[in-house]
Homo-oligomer: A and B are copies of this chain.
Amino acid sequence: MKGNVTVKTLAKELNISIATVSKALNDSYEISVDTKQKVWDLAKKLKYERNPAASNLRSHKTRTIAVIIPEVANNFFSLAINGIEEIARKRDYHVLIYQTHENSETETAFTESLLSGRVDGILISVSSGTENYDHFRELVDKIPVVFFDRTIEGIDAVKITTDDYESAYQATCHLIENGCSNIAYLYALSNLCTGQRRLEGYKDALAAHQLAINNDLIIGYDKNPDQNYENIKQLISVQKPDAVFSSIEEFALPCYYVCRELGLNIPNDLKIISFSNLSTAPLLSPSLTTITQPAFEIGKEAAGFLFKILDKKPFDADEIPILKSTLIKRESTGLC
């Protein structure tokens, strides 16, 4: 290419060996402060930038982490990335982004390709299409992995989650307290802990209030938006629930549109609550009651623990926090 400046350049210029230069750049104790300073000064002057490939090849450190998520264009995940990036930035780490689009094969392809040593560690939020976990098993014993939000069972790795069960329980209670007894549940992430815990919270809250669980009131998520819309419309018009509990944000807006189409008034005819990180929730018509996850903090915590692992700092399992989501009551559930 061009006459790039390398350790060799610096060494020649200063009349010292390249080993000394390398060690100086890495602030090794073996090198005198004088020499270090000279090297640093010259490096800055010549705008030396360490070649990451060579460094990685030799040291097996990439200063890079990968983030595997379903979608970037999602309020929760973009906030989580934000948190991850903030932590990575402080450590001068680089962040690779991979989107699975909820596709398990894509996810597997990513995890396999990341075994090549491209990154030091991986943060994953599992795709909802994932049913087979073998690729994760292989992954976690070859490279540090931290799961966040969307987690699975039977894998030995750090998992950063929120209190899905409790917040779903609480949300359901909120609906019941506001007079609902026929509460539909829009069930997503059914093959992940995350989804299952939310459903349990819903069910247990019903049971605690002596309300029967009606499986006709529980429908799954369809990745085809039109079909999903139809399913919700069907549910609402046939089962005539007095409330809808949406377990993911993607369900919430279709509900609003369905109510519009069916001429239903929210919250009088139907109350709506949703897990969501929509910044516009307070400005919707009517404003949407949400269970809002601390997405940014989840990202920060997940990255933080990944770096603990990379630094080989020991920690106890009970140090891993379960973050709290917030129930924000708004008009869509009657505003109280």
Contact = CB atoms under 8 A, between A and B. Distances in A.
21 contacts: A1-B60, A49-B113, A49-B117, A51-B117, A52-B116, A64-B96, A71-B82, A72-B78, A72-B85, A73-B75, A73-B81, A73-B82, A81-B97, A82-B99, A85-B97, A89-B99, A95-B97, A253-B279, A280-B283, A283-B285, A284-B285
A53 B57 contact: yes
DSSP majority for the A interface? mixed
Interface of A: 1, 4, 47, 49-54, 56-57, 60, 62, 64, 71-75, 78-79, 81-82, 85, 89, 94-99, 112-113, 115-118, 253, 256, 278-280, 283-287, 296
Given A283-B285, A284-B285, A52 B82 contact: no
B117 A52 contact: yes
A53 B117 contact: yes
A94 B96 contact: yes
Contact of A57 (B54, B99, B279): B54
Query: How many identical chains are in the complex?
Result: 2
Given A81-B72, A82-B71, A53 B49 contact: no
Nearest to A2: B142
Counting from the closest, the 4 A-B pairs by CB-CB distance are A285-B285, A49-B116, A53-B56, A53-B57
A75 B277 CA distance: 12
Nearest to A138: B47
A286 B280 CA distance: 12
Contacts of A112: 47, 49
Contacts of A286: 285
A55 B79 CA distance: 34
Contacts of A79: 73
A51 B57 contact: yes
A148 to B, nearest CB: 15
Contact of A78 (B47, B53, B74, B278): B74
